[in-house]
Chain A
Amino acid sequence: MITRRSEFWKGVKAELPLLLGVVPFGMIFGVLAVNAGIPPLAGQAMSSIIFAGSAQFVAYQMIALGAPGLVIILTIGVVNLRHALYSASIAPYLTKLSPLWKCLLAYLLTDEAYAVTILHYLQTDEKPDADPTWNASSTHSLRHWFFLGCGLTLWASWQASTALGIFLGAAVPAGWSLDFTLALTFIAIVVPVLKDRSSLLAGIAAGVVALLTRSLPFNLGLVTAALVGILAGVCLEGRR
């Protein structure tokens, strides 16, 4: 039987494999933040208040370089622009929720929680709330509990790994190439979604544009690449 608890734990379990890619990053962030002279409590606060890996890495560098506060804040905003795309993508599944639930899930909407949740919704044929063929009343939809399970699992491990990095303080040898675990995590997420030619083209277009635009400041290349990829996918799909 589907219950809140069963959906929640399904989410936790689905998120667990990704921690292999996430935990090293949290630790590296903790180490770097302390070495840059950021007080331990502030380093931990970056992980719990900002709670966005790539933005935290950019922010700590700018703080260490003594960049103006306003510039740092704007940079965090731009680096996180892709989260607006996640928000739009997941929103149709969450329209029936209370504002409190929406705020909680929005706070937990990281790359990894979004990836696992949207993959689950796409593969289990969940429909947006507005879809006339979707009958949520039959088993009062509990899918937000899956999202919560994913989000809280990632949140807890991000906090714990940051703390570990801050207090252990030892640097991870660069030769271990631990950054590659994140690339592999994303590969594991993307490949099952490549079901047709239009999504394949969207992925290739986005990837190539990301390579061409990577020297753009503030991660703007990433958002540009994502938008080009989405456009390419829509165009190819529309031609059929």
Chain B
Amino acid sequence: MTLWMIILAGGIITFATRLSFILLLEKISMPALLQRALRFVPVAVFSALIFPMVFPQEDKLAFTPLNPRLISACLAALVAWRTRNILLTILVGMVALFVFQALI
């Protein structure tokens, strides 16, 4: 199989996944339970993405309060909670990470 066929098929499968419910929803109506469940999609998926990045697998400090990523992430979460400003959250988090990585 050529590289180009892989790229094309990978693109089609990705597009089909993203289109699935957007296209189907016209034809089927969504059960109430499913509708309630969908409210939790953003928080569940993004938390599942965040945690492994904050607790690095090979890092000995990962599960201690000294983990620089954990401290920085908590600080960033605090900024996000108070300001709801994405740019500020990223900046504070990155500066905190540089500082704590230098200290610890």
Taken residue by residue from 99 to 117, chain A's Cβ proximity to chain B (1 for < 8 Å, 0 otherwise) reads as 1001101110101001100
Q: What separation, in Å, do the CA atoms of A111 and B3 have in the docked complex?
A: 25
A residues near B24, Cβ cutoff 8 Å: 91
> What 1/0 flags go to A28-59 for Cβ under 8 Å of B?
00000000001100100110011110010001
Per DSSP, chain B at the interface is helix
- State the majority secondary structure of interface residues on A: helix
For B21, what are the chain A residues with a Cβ–Cβ distance below 8 Å? 84, 87-88, 91
Q: Give A34 Cβ to nearest chain B Cβ, in Å.
A: 13
B47 touches A99 (CB 8 A): no
A55 vs chain B, min Cβ distance (A): 6
Which chain B residues lie closer than 8 Å to A185 at the CB level? 86, 90
Cα of A50 to Cα of B16 in the assembled complex, Å: 11
- The interface on chain B, measured as residues whose beta carbon lies within 8 A of the other chain's beta carbons, has a size of 69
Query: Do the beta carbons of A189 and B25 come within 8 Å of each other?
Result: no
Question: With contacts A69-B6, A80-B17, A102-B22 known, is A233 near B40, CB below 8 A?
Answer: yes
Q: Quick check: B93 and A77 within 8 Å, CB to CB?
A: no
Q: Is A168 interfacial (CB 8 A cutoff)?
A: no
Most A CB within 10 A of own CB, among B2, B21, B26: B21
- Contacting pair A229 B43 (CB below 8 A): yes
Which of A109, A180, A186 meets B49, CB within 8 Å?
Answer: A186
A156 on the interface (CB 8 Å rule)?
Answer: no
- CB distance A73 to B9 under 8 Å? yes
A229 in contact with B47 given A87-B20, A183-B54, A184-B76 (CB within 8 Å): yes
- In the bound complex, do residue A102 and residue B19 qualify as a contact, i.e. CB atoms below 8 Å apart? yes
Count chain A residues whose beta carbon lies closer than 8 angstroms to a beta carbon of B: 94
Structural contact, A188 and B80, CB atoms closer than 8 A: yes
What's the Cα separation between A148 and B13 when bound, in Å? 21
Q: Do A59 and B43 touch (CB < 8 A)?
A: no
Set A90, A115, A180: member contacting B46, Cβ < 8 A: A115
Of the stretches A3-11, A159-167, A191-199, the one at the interface is A191-199
User: Across the interface, do A188 and B89 meet the contact criterion of CB distance under 8 Å?
Assistant: yes
Measured CB to CB, the nearest residue on chain B to A178 is: B94
Bound-state CA distance A46–B4 (Å) is 9
B22→A187 contact, CB < 8 A: no
Residue of B at shortest CB range from A62?
B6
Contact for B44 among A105, A188, A203, CB less than 8 A: A203
Shortest Cβ distance from A109 into B: residue: B18
A106 to B24 CA separation, bound complex (whole angstroms): 12
Where the two chains meet, the residues of B that have a C-beta atom closer than 8 Å to any C-beta of A are: 1-11, 13-15, 17-26, 29-30, 33-55, 57, 69, 72-73, 76-77, 80-81, 84-87, 89-91, 93-94, 97-98, 101
| 10 A-B contacts (beta carbon < 8 Å) | A51-B14, A73-B10, A84-B18, A91-B22, A103-B19, A105-B22, A182-B53, A206-B48, A211-B52, A221-B48
Which 10 A-B pairs have CB atoms at the shortest separation, nearest pair first?
Answer: A69-B1, A229-B44, A207-B51, A49-B11, A106-B19, A233-B40, A191-B80, A188-B89, A183-B53, A17-B86
Given A17-B86, A222-B48, 6 new contacts (CB under 8 A): A72-B10, A91-B25, A199-B39, A202-B47, A211-B52, A230-B40
